[in-house]
Amino acid sequence: MATGGRNTGWKHQLGALIGLYLQNSTANVSPVQRKVGDIVWGSCADNSTLPGAECGYAIVPLDYFNSTAGVAKIALGRYNATTSPRKGSVFVNPGGPGGTGVSLATGSGSFLQQVIGEEYDIIGFDPRGIGQTEPATRCFPSPEARTAFIANTVLDRGYDVSPNLTDPANRYHLIQTQRDADALYKTQFAICGQTMGDQLRYMGTSTVSRDIDFMTTLLDGKDALINFYGLSYGTVIGQYLANMYAAGLFPERIGRVAIDGVVDADAWANKPAYTWYRTWLSSTEGAYKLFFEDCAKAGPSECALAKSRNDSATDIYNRVEDFVNKLYDEPLPAPNATIPGILTNGRARLFWIGALVVPQNWQSTAQAFAAAMAGDASAVLDAVNEKELVDMERSAVSCNDNKPFAPPKPEDVIDEALFVQQNVTRFGLTITISEPDSGCQFWPVTPPERFLGPWNSTTKNPILIISNTNDPATPISSGEIVHKALGNSSALLVLDAPGHTSLALPSTCIALNARAFFANGTLPVEGTVCQPNSGPFPEAETANITGLAAIGSSKALVSSDDKLLASLRHISSHIFKFGA
Ligand SMILES: *[C@@H]1O[C@H](CO)[C@@H](O)[C@H](O)[C@H]1NC(C)=O
Ligand SMILES: *[C@@H]1O[C@H](CO)[C@@H](O)[C@H](O)[C@H]1NC(C)=O
Ligand SMILES: *[C@@H]1O[C@H](CO)[C@@H](O)[C@H](O)[C@H]1NC(C)=O
Ligand SMILES: *[C@@H]1O[C@H](CO)[C@@H](O)[C@H](O)[C@H]1NC(C)=O
Ligand SMILES: *[C@@H]1O[C@H](CO)[C@@H](O)[C@H](O)[C@H]1NC(C)=O
Ligand SMILES: *[C@@H]1O[C@H](CO)[C@@H](O)[C@H](O)[C@H]1NC(C)=O
Ligand SMILES: *[C@@H]1O[C@H](CO)[C@@H](O)[C@H](O)[C@H]1NC(C)=O
Ligand SMILES: *[C@@H]1O[C@H](CO)[C@@H](O)[C@H](O)[C@H]1NC(C)=O
Ligand SMILES: *[C@@H]1O[C@H](CO)[C@@H](O)[C@H](O)[C@H]1NC(C)=O
Ligand SMILES: *[C@@H]1O[C@H](CO)[C@@H](O)[C@H](O)[C@H]1NC(C)=O
Ligand SMILES: *[C@@H]1O[C@H](CO)[C@@H](O)[C@H](O)[C@H]1NC(C)=O
């Protein structure tokens, strides 16, 4: 799916969206019958899957509260256990909402087994509304039509924010922009209502959790426990599984559940999106600052934004910020970009928030941005435009999950965002575009079930929570909130690194802890902090571990476990889709 100009190898719209970039794998099986409880396996139509991987589907009730409503067909991918005795299935979810678990299992199953254990079948599924699962989200005639609908609107180019946050003209301009955003949300959701009607109701996480429960019974039997590994939005599914019915079915069925890159499901379900960001973005500035520290340390040979060995992090930061702020007054033409356009202040911020998600690519981040500062914004614009072609999959999940709320005035949305901009991070308005969960006040349907908590259940087995110290999209503060609510039903494992999920900078320490957890339920000792195996910039520069650790940048350790590390890199590149 690569097109010309995608030379930076990463995408901007990542954040909790990491899964969106996984390829689809279609099941090469003929639909024999469609009876609830049917499960069918065959080969995968997509020839990029691993040897031994299988694709298929399960037929489940469309509506668990209405048996006459029909069926849903959940697309599945499987990579069997390779050692015996087989211990059961582990369901995997790569995030989004929008990522396909089928592709994760069929493209990376054997590598995931290095982390989860060879004694487990790795089961990927496309959640409701996503990938090959039916019903699919088809609001627009095609994903291209949706892309055309938002092109060059605020939903595409982001918010331009004046460096003078307190200037009333800035606030006025943002409120006007917000009026556009609200009308665009209203329009696209009206389109969804017209084209999909009631089919839209069945795509929330409560229903997805019931599917996992249902499919665990189909695959492993009525008494089997639910095992699950979820990244990013997948951590929301994990929390629903662990909490749906405080004293009910799922908490009593929790086997091994690990969640990595944590979204606070309580806020996700109970609060309007525009109020999330004080917490959600609490590590974003930290990640941004680390970029400049690591860039200064790497020096000009590895980090194109460093002019000399003498450049301090502050020098580099000041030049970048100065450039981004000047774009507010004077956008930079990019006539040579794949889709020619202008680099605006809003687009520059979208570029950076996307870059912070994947520190493994910080070298190309620096190259692209240095080129823009030298007058050629092609690579930056291409990166920002490299959005996955999608319909309204994400909203179909987040808006079915979100408790209805009174429509906020544009002034309320902007004043909250300005608070975040001034007191939390300069990416306060960027996130609403890079992680599109807003506008749910216009969602046209009500799901059959919407779980809203409580979130403090006692689970049959404790769950493993993994957070990075500087995750720009799913901060450690969210991991701590979930850990605190679940108490002894959870353990928190920390990776001392920037980036989104522990796969952003692979760590064999994290992987070995996860493996012990899946194998034996062993939990890391409270307070365990792992290091990544290498830092964001190339090895030559990060090899001076003592020096780096001493000066407090993101640290690096050298590991002897090459096979495990190679597997982590494979999973990571699958998920972030480097060079694909
Ligand atoms: C996989 O399929 C693609 C497109 O269908 C084709 O171009 C490619 O050659 C195939 N690769 C293999 C290894 O068969
Ligand atoms: C995977 O295991 C199932 C039994 O659980 C078996 O029917 C199937 O053939 C296996 N698939 C492969 C590719 O070996
Ligand atoms: C159940 O679904 C059927 C078919 O869509 C519908 O006609 C009926 O009204 C639904 N029943 C309830 C209680 O929602
Ligand atoms: C910011 O805007 C206000 C109101 O227009 C103005 O008084 C102030 O001088 C500006 N600050 C800077 C640093 O330009
Ligand atoms: C770096 O700093 C040293 C000592 O302050 C100075 O002599 C040298 O010219 C500087 N080099 C550059 C490239 O700025
Ligand atoms: C665009 O490409 C042309 C031809 O290579 C080059 O002359 C020009 O400087 C480029 N413009 C920008 C803004 O990079
Ligand atoms: C930032 O926080 C301070 C202290 O809470 C508050 O007075 C100020 O209004 C906030 N800034 C904005 C733009 O809301
Ligand atoms: C769990 O949370 C609910 C709702 O917030 C609260 O009423 C209840 O007391 C909590 N239970 C425990 C054991 O903390
Ligand atoms: C949690 O576990 C610790 C150590 O086993 C124990 O001291 C504590 O009482 C437990 N807390 C709860 C709420 O069960
Ligand atoms: C699980 O426990 C068994 C028995 O104590 C041990 O041999 C094995 O190494 C453990 N596995 C992991 C991955 O920790
Ligand atoms: C490693 O880094 C430290 C601290 O920056 C520095 O003093 C030392 O000279 C470096 N060692 C090498 C081999 O570059």
544 CB under 6 A from ligand 11? yes
What confidence category does residue 247 fall into, taking pLDDT thresholds of 50, 70 and 90?
A: very low
The pLDDT of 167-180, averaged and rounded, is 98
For residue 546, give the ligand nearest its CA: 11
Q: In this structure, are residues 92 and 41 in contact, taking their beta carbons and an 8 Å threshold? A: no
Say whether pLDDT at 246 is over 90: no
Could you read off the pLDDT of 307-326 as tens digits, one per residue? Answer: 999 999 999 999 999 999 99
Q: For residue 254, what are the β-bridge partners?
A: 226
**Given this model, what pLDDT does residue 282 score?**
98
Of residues 251 and 302, more confidently modeled: 302
- Other beta carbons within 10 Å of 326: 14
- Comparing 16 with 41, which gets the higher pLDDT? 41
Q: Lowest-pLDDT range, 57-61, 250-254, 484-488?
A: 250-254
Q: What is the residue with the minimal CA distance to atom 11 of ligand 7?
A: 419
**Stated length of the chain:** 580
Q: What is the pLDDT averaged over residues 278-302?
A: 97
Closest ligand 7 atom number to CA of residue 165: 13
Asked if 386 and 11 touch (Cβ cutoff 8 Å), the reply is yes
* Ligand 1 center to 24 CA (angstroms): 14
Q: Which of 238, 269, 239, 266 is nearest to 401 (CA)?
A: 269
Which ligand lies nearest the alpha carbon of 243?
Answer: 8
Mean pLDDT of 112-135: 97
* C-alpha distances out from residue 443 to 49, 193, 205, 350, 392, Å: 36, 8, 16, 25, 11
79, 80, 84, 90: which to mutate for ligand 2, most atoms within 8 A of CB?
Answer: 80
48 ligand 3 Cβ < 6 A? no
User: Does residue 90 carry a pLDDT above 80?
Assistant: yes
Is residue 242 within 8 A of residue 107, CB to CB? The reply is no
What ligand has the least distance to the C-alpha of 168?
4
pLDDT at 20 over 60: no
Atom 4 in ligand 10: residue holding the nearest Cα: 520
Which atom from ligand 4 is nearest to the alpha carbon of 167?
A: 2
Tell me the pLDDT band of 245, cut-offs 50, 70 and 90.
low
Q: Which tokens is 13 given?
A: 């719209």
456 lines ligand 8 (CB under 6 A): yes
CB atoms closer than 10 angstroms to residue 452: 13
User: How far is ligand 3, taken at its centre, from the CA of residue 72, in Å?
Assistant: 15
For residue 353, which of 291, 418, 278, 399 has the smallest C-alpha distance? 291
pLDDT in tens, 527-547: 999 999 999 998 544 444 443
Give residues with Cβ within 8 angstroms of 215, minimum separation 6: 39, 58, 60, 74, 76, 91, 123, 125
- The confidence score (pLDDT) of residue 539 equals 59
Specify the DSSP class assigned to residue 305: T
CA of 109 to the centre of ligand 7 (A): 48
Is 3's C-beta closer than 6 angstroms to any atom of ligand 11? Answer: no
Shortest-distance ligand to the CA of residue 87: 2
Q: How much distance in Å is there from the Cα of 308 to the middle of ligand 5?
A: 8
Q: Which atom of ligand 10 is nearest to the CA of 520?
A: 1
Closest CA to 553 of 282, 261, 281, 291: 291
Structural domains of the chain sorted by starting position, each given as residue range(s) with its CATH number in brackets: 27-135+205-268+455-534+545-576 (3.40.50.1820)
Minimal-distance CA residue to ligand 5 atom 2: 310
* pTM of the shown model: 0.90
| Interval 195-232: pLDDT, tens | 999 999 999 999 999 999 999 999 999 999 999 999 99
DSSP-derived secondary structure letter, 276: S
| pLDDT score of 250 | 72
For residue 540 and ligand 11, the question of a CB distance below 6 A is answered with no
Intra-chain end-to-end CA distance of the chain, in Å:
7
CA of 360 to the centre of ligand 11 (A): 23
- Contact predicate 444/293, CB 8 Å: no
Q: Is the pLDDT of residue 194 over 70?
A: yes
**Which pLDDT score is estimated for 508?**
95
* CA 487 to ligand 8: nearest atom: 14
Sign of CA pseudo-dihedral 172, 175, 177, 183:
negative
Task: Pull the structure tokens for residue 277.
Answer: 């960001």
Stretch 288-317: mean pLDDT:
97
Nearest alpha carbon to residue 376 among 339, 348, 334: 334
| Number of CB atoms found within 10 A of residue 83's CB | 11
Rounded distance, CA 482 to CA 492, Å?
A: 9
Ligand 9 midpoint to CA 488 (Å)? 6
The DSSP code for 530 is: E
Q: Is the dihedral of CA 44, 46, 47, 49 positive or negative?
A: negative
For 24-42, write each residue's pLDDT tens digit: 444 444 545 689 999 999 9
Q: How confident is the model at residue 248 (pLDDT cuts 50, 70, 90)?
A: low
Give the lowest-confidence range in 130-139, 386-395, 427-436, 500-509.
386-395
Give the closest ligand to the alpha carbon of residue 71: 3
Determine the distance separating the centroid of ligand 1 and the alpha carbon of 572, expressed in angstroms: 23
Which atom belonging to ligand 9 lies closest to the Cα atom of 488?
A: 1
The whole-angstrom separation of Cα 436 and Cα 148 is 16
pLDDT in tens, 362-387: 999 999 999 999 999 999 999 999 87
- Out of 235-249, 339-353, 439-453, pick the least confident: 235-249
- Ligand nearest, relative to CA of residue 115: 10
487 lines ligand 9 (CB under 6 A): yes
**Distance of alpha carbon 263 from its chain centroid, rounded?**
9
Q: Read off the tokens for 199.
A: 């089919």
- pLDDT over 90 percentage in the chain: 85
Residue 52 CA, closest ligand 2 atom number: 13
Instruction: Tell me which residue has its CA closest to atom 4 in ligand 4.
Output: 167
pLDDT tens, 453-486? 999 999 999 999 999 999 999 999 999 999 999 9
